Structure formats: C-alpha cells, structure tokens
C-alpha cells in the first residue's frame, strides 16, 4: 500500500469515527501539545519539501474542546498548506524559500491559531467555505 493510500485510509477512518460519535468527547487540552503532536505527524512531508517551519504557540494555554475534531481541522490545514506550496512550486517550476508558519495568540479570552504559508493561495470565493465540513476544491 502506498503512503498516499495509507493516508487516505487514515482520513476516512477518522471521519467515520467522528461521524459516528453520538456525543462529543470534550476535554481540556494544552494547545501547544496538540499542535506539536500534529506537526510531528507531518514533519516528514515538511522536511522533504524543504519547508521552513515556524512554530510559535502560546505555552500553557488550555482549551475545553472535542479533541478529534480540532485535531483533524488543524491537520487538514497543515496538509492544505503543504499541498498549496507543492502547487506553487510546480507552477513556477523553481525552488523558493517555502514557509509554513503556525502561531497562536491569546486575545480577548480567545485563542487565535494562525496557519499560513507562501503557497498558491485560496480563491476569494472559497474563503467563507473553508471550515464547512466536507468542503474541498480538490477534484
């Protein structure tokens, strides 16, 4: 089985588990630990593409949230950033100083998590749909 097939299988399995939950399992999580764990999963892909990763997540910040859903959302955003960089690299046919920045801040009793890259970007008409469950521009 290829790594792509394995990854797709994992995503499908995770989505099935998420869809089958009768009640959400909220718990207190340290944002820094959660983000670090997710980045570790994608570290190979980030390093393979020579992407400069900046990781500045507020330490000791905790949230009461459903872990699986938040983990999948953050993971999807990181995968999309990597794929966006891939698309721009192919379109320009050159190597650049690729960047993936993951930062957080605590503002007005909320945690703001920013995931940004210098990839191909997002079409304006898709910005409002980004966090709709199941939304994708991939064909």
The neighbouring-strand residues paired with 30 are 62
What is the spatial distance between Cα 56 and Cα 105, in angstroms, rounded to a whole number? 9
Residue 100, pLDDT score: 97
Residue 2, pLDDT score: 47
24-127 carries CATH number 3.40.109.10: no
- Tens of pLDDT along the chain (139 residues) come to 444 455 556 666 666 565 555 557 899 999 999 999 999 999 999 999 999 999 999 988 899 999 998 999 999 999 999 999 999 988 887 778 999 999 999 888 889 999 999 998 888 887 787 777 777 777 6
Q: Judge if pTM exceeds 0.85.
A: no
Residue 10, pLDDT score: 61
Q: What is the Cα Rg of the chain in Å?
A: 16
What is the spatial distance between Cα 20 and Cα 18, in angstroms, rounded to a whole number? 5
Residue 92, pLDDT score: 85
Residue 118, pLDDT score: 93
Residue 1, pLDDT score: 47
């Amino acid at each position: 089985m290829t790594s792509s097939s394995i990854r797709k299988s994992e995503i499908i399995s995770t989505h099935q588990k998420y869809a089958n939950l009768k009640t959400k399992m909220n718990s207190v999580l340290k944002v820094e630990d959660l983000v670090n764990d997710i980045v570790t999963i994608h570290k190979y892909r980030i390093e393979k593409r020579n992407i400069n990763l900046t990781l500045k997540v507020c330490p000791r910040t905790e949230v009461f949230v459903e872990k699986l859903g938040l983990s999948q959302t953050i993971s999807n955003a990181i995968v999309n950033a990597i794929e966006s960089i891939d698309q721009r690299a192919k379109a320009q046919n050159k190597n650049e100083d690729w960047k993936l920045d993951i930062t957080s801040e605590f503002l007005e009793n909320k945690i703001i998590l920013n995931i940004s890259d210098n990839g191909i970007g997002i079409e304006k008409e898709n910005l409002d749909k980004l966090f709709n469950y199941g939304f994708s521009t991939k064909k």
